[in-house]
Amino acid sequence: MTNEFGPLSVPRRLLMGPGPTDVHPRVLRAMSTPITGYLDSAYFEILDEVAEMLRIVYETRATTMVVAASGSGGMEAGLNSFIEPGDTVVMCSYGHFCERMILMAERLGANVVPVRSEWGRAMDPQLLVDALAANPGTKLVTAIHAETSTGVLQPLPELSRLAHDAGALFMADMVTSLSGCEVRVDEWGVDYAYSGPQKCLAGPPGLSPVAVSERALETVRTRKTLPSSWYLDLDLIDQYWGPDHVHHHTSPVSMMFGLREALAMALEEGLPTRFQRHASTASALRAGLTALGLELPVPAAERLNQLTLIQVPDGIDDNAVRQQVLDDYSIEIGRGLGEFRGNKWRIGLMGHSCQPGNVLAVLSALEKVLPAHGYEVGVGAGVAAASAELAKHDIRVP
């Protein structure tokens, strides 16, 4: 029988959506390293390196490990491990991924108390104050640090303090924030943080590096009932990552090699330098978009540098513009989710995709595509404004 499929062929894209983003060539090379056994002592040394580097990027002395699942798996591992049926969970919600967390908790039989606020704005902590006062005995409070669906950076220290004052654990999504902006797990009192390598770390999707406080681990170990998911039981995963390396699952070896290299690169660049690179390129992108007359709905003080939310102009077909940018320029930009579906675009600048040339490339593409859809822009206006902003910064891409 003739094989009609042949070798794999995938179009080369410039990934400037909400993630995944471009993987650094050095990380790709690491992923092509010959596979070891996941119970090999040499592999355990790699796991120890990953755990130690995660403690640095999370700024924590807590237990660090990797859930062999995407960021959503890290999200569900926390809820699965901390929540027992009937437990009260207060969940801050101001975007699509906050709502996903609520759906997961409901499936676990928790008494879910959503604290919903306006999409595209940071949440007022007073809403959490009121919810905790109305729900004494709350076991867990959840929040998302960088809501990728809205482009908003949510301050966490006050939310964490309020949770702890109420005797609750505090769980935070750091999928988009880790290594792209300041993250301080210990100082902020985060009991459980989870992330993903496919954004600011410029690694492969499909893993979820996490940090778990001793209080949070003790909560898992002293549950009255076993977690509903064996695979996502943080206590069992911790036993594999711990000194005894108790067998739990088949670790995704090649992806772990990629994560290890991505973490090493972040530390070689230096976290403050990396944060500044994300801030400077975001500033240039916003200058260019504004010069094109596009509206940026998120208030300046609440904007996320890693992802910029753009209002789709009236009368413009959201999908048609994104598809032409992809077809003609091989650049991916993100569509809106949930409340923002069809009326917002999302441009990501994360990890290896976060570089000046990409800012100019996407602005140039929009300058060409938008007029074809009835939205006139000044030719070269966006690129000129971004270039002027970039000239103010010394940006070096590793």
Taking only the tens place, the pLDDT of each residue in 32-75 is 999 999 999 999 999 999 999 999 999 999 999 999 999 999 99
Q: For the chain, how are helix, strand and coil distributed in percent, rounded to 5?
A: 45, 15, 40
Note the pLDDT of residue 217: 97
Q: Identity (one letter) of the amino acid at 214? A: E
- Rounded CA-CA distance 347/335 in Å is 9
* Separation CA 191–CA 213 (nearest Å): 5
pLDDT (0 to 100) of residue 141: 98
Q: What is the pLDDT of residue 366?
A: 98
Closest CA to 279 of 307, 260, 251: 307
Report the predicted TM-score, pTM, of the whole model to 2 decimal places.
0.96
Tell me the residue length of the chain: 398
Alpha-carbon gap, residue 398 to 352, rounded angstroms? 8
Inter-residue contact 74 to 208 (CB < 8 Å): yes
Interatomic CA distance for residues 396 and 398, integer angstroms: 6
Q: Using CA atoms, how far apart are residues 373 and 365, in angstroms rounded to an integer?
A: 13
| pLDDT score for 1 | 58
Which DSSP letter does residue 303 get? B
Looking at residue 300, what is its pLDDT?
96
The pLDDT assigned to 3 comes to: 74
The closest alpha carbon to 297, from 324, 349, 354, 336, belongs to 336
Establish whether the linkage from the previous residue to 299 is cis, with ω within 30° of 0: no
Burial tier of 268 (Cβ tally within 10 Å: 0-12, 13-18, 19+): exposed
Residue type, 204: P
- With a CB cutoff of 8 Å and minimum separation 6, the contacts of 271 are 57, 179
- pLDDT on residue 397: 87
List residues bridging with 172 in a β-sheet.
Answer: 143, 193
Which pLDDT does position 346 carry in this prediction?
Answer: 98
pLDDT value of position 370: 97
C-alpha span between 35 and 283 (Å, rounded): 41
Domains of the chain: 25-267 (3.40.640.10), 271-390 (3.90.1150.10)
Whether the CB-CB separation of 153 and 181 falls below 8 Å is answered with yes
pLDDT means per 10 residues in the chain (398 residues)?
Answer: 81 95 96 94 97 98 97 97 97 97 97 97 98 98 97 98 98 98 98 98 96 97 96 97 95 97 98 98 98 97 97 96 98 96 97 97 98 94 97 90
